[in-house]
Amino acid sequence: MFLQRAWRQVAFGVYGFTQFTKSGFQEHSKKFKAEDMGVQMEGKNCLVTGGNSGIGFATAEGLASRGATVYIVCRNKEKGEAALSKIQANTGNKNIHLEICDLSSIREIKSFASRFSSENKPIHVLVNNAGLLENNRVTTAEGLELNFAVNVAGTFAMTELMMPLLEKAAPDARVITVSSGGMYITPLSKDLQYSEPNFDGVTQYARNKRIQVALTEKWSQIYGEKEIGFYTMHPGWAQTPGVAKSLPTFSEKLAGKLRTSEEGADTVVWLALQPKEKLVSGAFYFDRAEAPKHLALAGTANSHSFIDAIADELRVICSLPLSAEVSVK
Catalytic residues: 205
Asked if 233 and 179 count as a contact pair (C-beta separation under 8 A), the reply is yes
CA atoms within 13 A on the CB side of 302: 3
- Tell how strand 229-234 and strand 174-178 pair up: parallel
Between CA 46 and CA 167 the distance in angstroms is: 14
The phi-psi region of residue 287 (left if phi > 0; otherwise alpha if psi is between -120 and 50; otherwise beta) is left
Going by C-alpha positions, the residue among 274, 273, 262 that lies closest to residue 57 is 262
Between CA 131 and CA 228 the distance in angstroms is: 23
DSSP string, 99-121: EE--TT-HHHHHHHHHHHHTTT-
Going by C-alpha positions, the residue among 208, 195, 190 that lies closest to residue 149 is 208
Between CA 291 and CA 283 the distance in angstroms is: 8
7 class by beta-carbon count within 10 Å (0-12 exposed, 13-18 middle, 19+ buried): middle
Alpha carbon distances (Å) from 142 to 15, 105, 108, 139, 320: 38, 7, 11, 8, 15
Work out the angle at residue 180's Cα, subtended by the Cα atoms of residues 178 and 185, and round it to the nearest 5 degrees.
150
Alpha-carbon torsion 162, 306, 130, 143, what sign? positive
